[in-house]
Structure 1
Amino acid sequence: MSLKDWGLALLVVLAWGVNFVVIKWGLDELPPLLLGALRFLLVAFPAVLFIKAPNLPIKWLLAYGITISFGQFALLFSAMHLGMPAGLASLVLQAQMLFTMIFAFMFLGERWKLPQVLSLIVAATGLILLASQTPASKMTFIGFTLTIAAAASWGMGNIINRKIGQLGNVNLMGLVVWSAL
């Protein structure tokens, strides 16, 4: 990778990490579902006035919006409100990889090879260790559970996104903006 590519990758990591701190600050002032609603209102408006809705059946737009937009963030914001620290939330939310792989196996018929099985075992072991070794003063059980549920919602959204991609030429920007509604 070029130096520019490394710089852009690090910028994404920085933005991702800071995002969770900003969410935590927001939750100090607003209830979780209101904060989530405002987040997606700002994503959708005024963009819906300028970006054409994606050309796909409404069931797919709703399924994507319910999993990626509403489910993931309603659960995540609620988890953080109920005791999931920002740093651990950003880590545990990456369990979406586990759920994406499991859902791809279940719903898309994808088969696992040894590297995928090993990665599932390592990731699941890490989550179990994290959950069992983190003191209750640092992370609540309900916060952890809701963050895992947010990861599952994100994983299902990835599968829905894959199905949407099979429908043909779908405007991805339109999908993101209109599913935010």
Structure 2
Amino acid sequence: MPARDLVLVLIVVLAWAGNFLTSALAMREIPPFLFTALRFALLALPLAWLVKRPAPGQWPRLVAVCLCIGVLHFGLSFTALKLAGDLTSPAIVMQSYVPMTTLLAWWLLGERFAWRTGLAIAVSFAGVLVLGFDPIVLDRPMALVLMLISAAFLAVGTVMMKGLRGLDVVSQQGWTALFSVLPLLAISAWLEPGALARLPQASWVAWAGALYAAFISSLLGHGLYYVLVQRHPVARVMPWLLLVPLLAMGLGIAFWGDRPGPRLLVGGAMVLGGVLLIALRALTRARSVPPAEEL
């Protein structure tokens, strides 16, 4: 990967890792589902004018992808981050969507993988179990459960997204924002009563977190990621993205008071190691294995 693209990767990593810290700070004042709705409302303002219509017959798939990723994945992931009380464990557990996506692609799309990828998947899920016995995680088990469910919805949305045709990243982000705002507001009204009325009282820190999530993490981060995967195989970019949870852990230690214990570190290493092996196997296949053969 040329130096120019490495710089772009690092910008993506910084944008996404910083989102854990800025969002956690914002959610001290704004509850998770309302925060997610605010993120997408802000994102929809510039993108609503740029979205393209999907191809005929693809509206149901597009709506399902938007609800899986925009409402269920982001809403639950921010809820898990709020409940966790640390940045490290949510950032690591989020990566479990990679083995989940591989398994779903095998089950739903018939994509095959060899035993090495299967072993990497098993290591990743075993790492989640090890991580779950860390005292930080054991104190708040619902955060781990919700983050795993969130990752599962991201995996479902990712697999379904493979069937979408003719939509660029701007349109995908724009439609996700447009379709997600009202359901998120409805969920917030149900689970977070009075939160919307208290929103004008939020400080600049909370609003800065929402603006960061919308424009730095989503618009800049995902936009540059789309540029990178246009130039390189996804498997070549993915190993670099494992820097996101590592940097998020560093931010958590420096600014949030995280003190990850040995079980969290060992389990996290297993999760990220399994994800790295999956990515490297995919890259090997992209480089040298004919399409008919297994990963």
Per the normalisation by structure 2, the TM-score is 0.56
RMSD between aligned residues: 1.8
* 1:60–1:160 Cα contact (<8 Å) kept: yes
**1:157 counterpart = 2:154:** no
* 1:78–1:143 Cα contact (<8 Å) kept: yes
Q: What is the aligned partner in structure 2 of residue 93 from structure 1?
A: 94
CA distance in 1, matches of 2:138, 2:25: 17
CA distance in 1, matches of 2:85, 2:139: 5
Kindly state the Cα deviation for residue 47 of structure 1 after the two structures are TM-superposed. Answer: 1.5
Identical-pair percentage: 29
Q: What is the aligned partner in structure 1 of residue 117 from structure 2?
A: 116
Report the CA distance shift for 1:148/1:139 in structure 2 as closer, same or farther (over 3 A): farther
Helix, strand or coil at the partner of 1:111: coil
Report the CA distance shift for 1:73/1:139 in structure 2 as closer, same or farther (over 3 A): farther
1:17-32 correspondence to structure 2 within 5 Å = 17-32=17-32
Pick the aligned partner of 1:171 from 132, 148, 168.
168
* 1:84–1:139 Cα contact (<8 Å) kept: no
Kindly state the Cα deviation for residue 139 of structure 1 after the two structures are TM-superposed. Answer: 5.5
Report the CA distance shift for 1:121/1:137 in structure 2 as closer, same or farther (over 3 A): closer
Kindly state the Cα deviation for residue 20 of structure 1 after the two structures are TM-superposed. Answer: 0.6
* 1:63–1:157 Cα contact (<8 Å) kept: yes
CA distance in 2, matches of 1:25, 1:15: 15
Kindly state the Cα deviation for residue 87 of structure 1 after the two structures are TM-superposed. Answer: 2.4
Q: What's the CA shift string for 1:29-53, capped at 9, x where partnerless? A: 1011100000111111231123333
Per the normalisation by structure 1, the TM-score is 0.89
Q: What's the CA shift string for 1:99-144, capped at 9, x where partnerless? A: 1011111111122212211210121121111112x11478610001
Helix, strand or coil at the partner of 1:119: helix
Q: What's the CA shift string for 1:45-65, capped at 9, x where partnerless? A: 231123333335221121111
Instruction: In structure 2, give the amino acid aligned to 1:95.
Output: S
1:124-163 correspondence to structure 2 within 5 Å = 124-132=125-133, 134-136=134-136, 140-163=140-163
Helix, strand or coil at the partner of 2:18: helix
* 2:73–2:154 Cα contact (<8 Å) kept: yes
Count how many residue pairs are aligned between Structure 1 and Structure 2: 177
Helix, strand or coil at the partner of 1:52: coil
Larger radius of gyration: 2
Kindly state the Cα deviation for residue 3 of structure 1 after the two structures are TM-superposed. Answer: 2.4
Instruction: In structure 1, give the amino acid aligned to 2:65.
Output: Y
Report the CA distance shift for 1:42/1:54 in structure 2 as closer, same or farther (over 3 A): farther
CA distance in 1, matches of 2:136, 2:172: 39
Instruction: In structure 1, give the amino acid aligned to 2:163.
Output: K
Q: What's the CA shift string for 1:64-93, capped at 9, x where partnerless? A: 111111111111111122225222211110
Q: What is the aligned partner in structure 2 of residue 102 from structure 1?
A: 103
* Structure 2 unmatched runs, 5+: 179-295
CA distance in 2, matches of 1:49, 1:2: 34
Q: What is the aligned partner in structure 1 of residue 75 from structure 2?
A: 74
Report the CA distance shift for 1:75/1:129 in structure 2 as closer, same or farther (over 3 A): same
* Structure 1 unmatched runs, 5+: none
Report the CA distance shift for 1:78/1:142 in structure 2 as closer, same or farther (over 3 A): same
CA distance in 2, matches of 1:162, 1:171: 12
1:29-44 correspondence to structure 2 within 5 Å = 29-44=29-44
